[in-house]
């Protein structure tokens, strides 16, 4: 009997806690999710929203990606906490560095994916994570990047010029009612990258609350086009339920005026 896939649904997969080690000597905590009984066809390396205001590896779109996409789309999903960031998985060493020291975090994640021989590595950045992808993600090992709610806050014209000189696919999913960059302005700003694809998402907001399924569909459409989208909204096999209550206080805008507490504060 088919069961509806809900926010807390965990579909079958192989999931293991991992550690990343940065060139400047930090240990970052993370998780790698893989299809249960077959190799992945492509890989998502997830770069989360602003950690000082609630962003982490368990931010809801990335959590749902890790819980669903290995089963629904044959994808590997690598999530991790950037320096100084906490989630239920733990706290990564170091301190938030305003997109400077985080260059080593991005490099460590890409290196891990390469060392693990994960296929067709794509970066998926969300908010602050899009700046990290733009600044540090145009790497020979990367097949392309997908940007969710890009604010273009820390990235520079020089970063866009680097992507413009690359043939790597770059897609920006921009909410119609984003707090920081809306579709019309995004198309103007990303005009510096002639091959960039800017997709306005009607009715959506910066946090993608209520629109996670749309985001996952758009990611899969580009990363594994052999999979039919929209993805199934029901599941016929075994299913577990995850605890999403621990993050109720983190459903805030990434650049909200009031920081949210970290686990254990």
Here the tokens at position 256 are 């909200």
| pLDDT for 170 | 98
Q: Is the bond into 191 cis (omega within 30 degrees of 0)? A: no
Give the tens place of pLDDT for each residue, 31-84.
999 999 999 999 999 999 999 989 999 999 999 999 999 999 999 999 999 999
Question: What domains, with CATH codes, occur in the chain?
Answer: 12-224 (3.40.50.1820)
Tokens of 236: 């016929």
Mean pLDDT computed over every residue of the chain:
93
Residue 206, both tokens: 């910066």
Pairing type for strands 14-21 and 121-126 reads unpaired
Position 189 pLDDT exceeds 70: yes
Cα–Cα distance for residue pair 213/210, rounded to 1 Å: 8
Q: What is the rounded distance in angstroms from the CA atom of residue 265 to the CA atom of residue 262? A: 5
Q: How far is CA 259 from CA 51, 140, 191, 251, in A?
A: 9, 36, 33, 11
Tokens 């700046």: give the residue.
Answer: 131
Q: What is the pLDDT of residue 211?
A: 97
Which residues lie closer than 8 Å to 256 by C-beta, 6 or more apart? 53, 54
- The reported pLDDT for the residue numbered 249 is 58
């Amino acid at each position: 009997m088919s069961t509806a896939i809900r926010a807390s649904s965990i579909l079958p997969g192989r999931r293991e806690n991992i550690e990343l080690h940065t060139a400047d000597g930090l240990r970052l905590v993370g998780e790698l999710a893989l299809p249960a009984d077959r190799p992945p066809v492509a890989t998502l390396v997830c770069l989360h929203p602003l950690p000082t205001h609630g962003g982490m590896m368990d931010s809801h779109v990335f959590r749902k990606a890790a819980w669903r996409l290995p089963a629904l789309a044959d994808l590997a999903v690598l999530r991790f906490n950037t320096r100084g960031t906490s989630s239920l998985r733990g706290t990564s060493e170091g301190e938030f560095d305003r997109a400077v020291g985080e260059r080593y975090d991005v490099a460590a994640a890409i290196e891990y994916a390469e060392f693990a021989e994960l296929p067709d590595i794509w970066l998926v950045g969300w908010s602050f994570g899009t700046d990290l992808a733009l600044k540090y993600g145009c790497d020979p090992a990367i097949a392309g990047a997908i940007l969710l709610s890009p604010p273009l806050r820390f990235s520079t014209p020089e970063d866009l010029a680097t992507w413009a000189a690359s043939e790597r696919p770059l897609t920006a999913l921009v909410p119609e009612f984003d707090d920081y960059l809306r579709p019309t302005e995004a198309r103007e700003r990303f005009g510096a990258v002639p091959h960039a694809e800017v997709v306005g998402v009607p009715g959506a907001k910066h946090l993608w609350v209520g629109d996670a399924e749309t985001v996952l569909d758009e990611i899969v459409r580009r990363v594994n086009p052999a999979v039919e989208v929209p993805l199934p909204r029901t599941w016929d096999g075994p299913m577990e339920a995850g605890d999403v209550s621990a993050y109720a206080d983190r459903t805030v805008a990434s650049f909200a005026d009031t920081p949210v507490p970290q686990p254990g504060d």
